[in-house]
């Protein structure tokens, strides 16, 4: 059974998010690998080592893959291969894709996740988790041709596209544009201090102080992205949008939303 996928929207303040990730990964016996590759801050790995230790994790290690050659380090690969949880920090998601993409690290992350290891990412780390990654784009609520740039992510799932800092940075338009290019996916617009815990059964449960905006294009009747000129508004008819707070769930198979008042908490062990 594959591990959980946990995109976090950035500015992580709610202790319950890290605590649930730790609980999934084995509690105090968890082995957490922190990958700070996206960050330009030299002490980001150390910061998260201390954060996890403060939450009771005895075994945590920052693996500072700063260059593609670092991704061949046998000791780090061995440590990553025994981790029960991996945490990708924020920063620039293009650093993640360009440094880790196609390396033994990215391959091992996919293999270990398929075997049951849980992988969380915050901000840039959240964007990188899926196969289709938003690399950059413009702010604004209206989808327009050319508003978003996409590239390949880690590839843990091809069912979602994640955008982070969602409400805080007015990113509805670029997520809609990304989905206009590929209506197969479901958009997860994750607010800061908020996470979507996506289980092996493809049910996502929301946790945090904000919301996750779910953009579901499965019932789209018309999309004008192929006809519109660069910069023009994209007519996108039939898109469903759900705004979900803590405790609400969304199933990626059935596309069924269960509001928090009616949801049964998901089992994490």
Catalytic annotation present for 123 = yes
Specify whether the backbone of 262 is left (phi greater than 0), alpha (psi in -120 to 50) or beta: alpha
Q: Pick the catalytic residue from 25, 97, 123, 130.
A: 123
Q: Pick the catalytic residue from 118, 132, 165, 248.
A: 165
Cβ neighbours, 10 Å, residue 48: 23
Q: Rounded CA gap, 17 and 34, in Å?
A: 16
DSSP track, 101-121: TTSHHHHHHHHHHHTT-EEEE
H or E element in which residue 187 lies: strand 186-190
Q: Pick the catalytic residue from 39, 97, 113, 192.
A: 192
Burial class (CB within 10 angstroms; exposed 0-12, middle 13-18, buried 19+) of 231: exposed
Nearest in space to 16 (alpha carbons), one of 161, 184, 195: 195
H or E element in which residue 54 lies: helix 44-54
Contact by Cβ (8 Å): 72, 108 = no
Q: Rounded CA gap, 77 and 84, in Å?
A: 14
Q: What are phi and psi of 158, to 5 degrees?
A: -110, 10
Cβ neighbours, 10 Å, residue 263: 18
Q: What are phi and psi of 32, to 5 degrees?
A: -105, 125
Catalytic annotation present for 192 = yes
Q: Which residues are catalytic?
A: 123, 165, 192
């Amino acid at each position: 059974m594959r591990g959980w996928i946990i995109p976090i929207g950035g500015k992580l303040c709610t202790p319950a998010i890290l605590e649930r990730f730790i609980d999934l990964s084995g509690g105090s016996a968890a082995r957490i690998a922190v990958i700070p590759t996206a960050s330009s801050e030299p002490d980001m790995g150390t910061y998260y080592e201390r954060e996890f230790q403060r939450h009771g994790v005895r075994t945590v290690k920052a693996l500072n893959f700063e260059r593609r050659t670092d991704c061949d380090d046998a000791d780090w690969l061995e440590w990553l291969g025994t981790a029960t949880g991996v945490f990708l920090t924020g920063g620039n998601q293009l650093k993640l894709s360009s440094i880790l993409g196609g390396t033994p690290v990215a391959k091992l992350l996919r293999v270990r996740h398929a075997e049951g290891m849980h992988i969380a990412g915050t901000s840039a780390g959240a964007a990188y988790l899926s196969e289709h990654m938003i690399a950059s784009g413009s702010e604004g609520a209206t989808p327009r041709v050319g508003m978003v740039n996409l590239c390949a992510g880690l590839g843990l799932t091809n069912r979602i596209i994640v955008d982070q800092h969602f409400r805080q940075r007015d990113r509805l338009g670029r997520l809609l544009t990304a989905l206009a290019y590929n209506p197969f996916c479901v958009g997860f617009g994750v607010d800061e201090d908020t996470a979507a815990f996506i289980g092996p059964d493809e049910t996502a449960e929301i946790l945090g102080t904000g919301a996750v905006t779910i953009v579901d294009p499965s019932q789209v009747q018309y999309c004008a992205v192929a006809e519109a000129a660069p910069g023009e508004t994209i007519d996108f008819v039939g898109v469903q949008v759900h705004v979900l707070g803590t405790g609400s769930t969304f199933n990626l198979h059935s596309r069924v939303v269960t509001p928090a008042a009616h949801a049964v908490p998901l089992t994490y062990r």
